[in-house]
Amino acid sequence: MVKFTLNDRDYEVEDGKTILEVALENGVKIPTLCYHKDLTSYGACRLCMVEIIDGARPGLQASCTYKVSDGLVVKTDTERVKKTRDIVFELLLARCPDSEKLTKLAEEYGITKSRIEWKDKGKCILCGLCVRACAEVSQRNAINFAFRGIERQVNTPFKRISQICIGCGACAYVCPTGAIEIEEAD
């Protein structure tokens, strides 16, 4: 068992849990996009950042990948957390202004508009939930990330129609922004 402090409250939990898992189990609100309880944590969207006040790596850390340990002191609502989170929301909204799920989540945290505009609008925020669902749940590995930086995208190998996709829809189900659509074949 591990004893630690989250938002001034003491917790005693099993070894190996992440800060996010404990928070969610205890009704502490932390926004996430690239996290799903049944998939491996990936730490990409950076919305779930929390502040480690006392611990091995003080400062902002992604709660979905940071494991709790004895004596750890964590806060989820410091000014540092809120301010950086607001800007991460703005960056995501600039990229995907048409995603209802993203807009709704941002609104819950008080962000209704981004100061930034970006020409390449779409719905995919590259969280990789679809990639992990395909690999870990459907076990098909039909899709993965391709290219890097600004060109990064989720795609099939060589962008060819996949021979191994079974059309299970797990990717579309898990997508937090509604970027994947499923069409019925004739």
CB of 66 to other proteins, least distance (A): 6
Quick one: which of 2, 13, 39, 60 contacts other proteins (CB under 8 A)? 60
Phi, psi of 159 (to 5 degrees): 55, 25
Q: Closer CB to other proteins, residue 65 or residue 167?
A: 65
Site for other proteins in 108-167 (CB under 8 A): 115-116, 118, 125-126, 128, 144-145, 147-152
Decide if residue 16 touches other proteins (CB under 8 A). Answer: no
Decide if residue 43 touches other proteins (CB under 8 A). Answer: yes
CB of 103 to other proteins, least distance (A): 16
Decide if residue 92 touches other proteins (CB under 8 A). Answer: yes
Q: Report DSSP letters for 129-173, one per residue.
A: HHHHIIIIIS-----EEES-GGG-EEE-GGGPPPSS-----HHHH
Place of tokens 């209802």: 100
Q: Closer CB to other proteins, residue 15 or residue 182?
A: 15
Decide if residue 84 touches other proteins (CB under 8 A). Answer: yes
- CA dist 95 and 116 (Å) reads 9
- CA dist 16 and 152 (Å) reads 32
- CA dist 143 and 148 (Å) reads 15
- CA dist 38 and 1 (Å) reads 22
- CA dist 4 and 21 (Å) reads 13
**Cα R_g (the chain), whole angstroms:** 18
Q: Closer CB to other proteins, residue 110 or residue 169?
A: 110
Quick one: which of 31, 75, 78, 80 contacts other proteins (CB under 8 A)? 80
CB of 39 to other proteins, least distance (A): 15
Give residues in contact with other proteins (CB under 8 A).
Answer: 43-47, 49, 57, 59-60, 62, 65-67, 80, 84, 87-88, 91-92, 94-95, 115-116, 118, 125-126, 128, 144-145, 147-152
